[in-house]
Amino acid sequence: MIAVIVAVLLIAGGATALLWPHGGLRDMNGNAVALDAAATPAGPQLTDMDPVDDTNTRFAVPSVGLDVPLGALTAVGDEITPPGFTSAYLVRNLGVTPQNAPEGTVFVVMHSLRDGAVGPGNYLIDVDSGTAAVHPGDEVDVSGVAYTVTGASDIIKTAIADDDDIWADQPGRLVVITCLQRPGGGPSHDNIVITAQRTAG
């Protein structure tokens, strides 16, 4: 079975970013994923992003049953482009790494999918209600660092780059971003932004 995914977009830093096509893309159920034809990042940009799907650590949200590899990427030209559909990705050049969590904000991004396909972000959204599936008090584990969810909100993709509150670098903070899919299908217009604070102790 092939899950056809149409323009799964994530916006950050002032530009839209589209996953580039390469062989063997699969969703979390092992289904092949096909993308709509569209412009993709150029070769040098991909090299500069230096994406990896697995850093030998995990991203987990037990309340929704999510536990996936934590990869990493570098935002290039104000674009954030997760390179796969089965991992969450630390953004290296925004905020801090989980190892330095007390000093600033950790930023993690991931894809959600539609048309029956499942990416990590699908676990974090309630498509029918148009809200996050996680709630204040839920636990998030990023590379062994425990966080407690403090809130979640949706924001139109064209506005996310200019929202200073999202990109603020604050001690012990976590920001997780994924696309909010639409009940009727079609391209996602909004992102879900989940915020959390490092758990004391």
pLDDT tens across 54-91, in order?
999 999 999 999 999 999 999 987 778 787 899 999 99
Residue 24: CB partners within 8 Å, gap ≥ 6? none
Average confidence (pLDDT) over 92-96: 95
Between these two residues, 7 and 127, which has the higher pLDDT value? 127
pTM: 0.86
The CATH number of residue 37's host domain is 2.40.260.10
116-165, pLDDT tens digit by residue? 889 999 999 999 999 999 999 999 999 999 999 999 999 998 898 889 99
Nearest to 193 by CA among 137, 125, 140: 125
Q: Within a 10 A sphere around the Cβ of 54, how many other Cβ atoms?
A: 14
Full residue range of the structural domain in which residue 37 is found: 2-198
Domains held by the chain: number: 1
Q: Over range 14-29, report the average pLDDT.
A: 55
- The separation between CA 131 and the C-alpha centre of its own chain, rounded to angstroms, equals 15
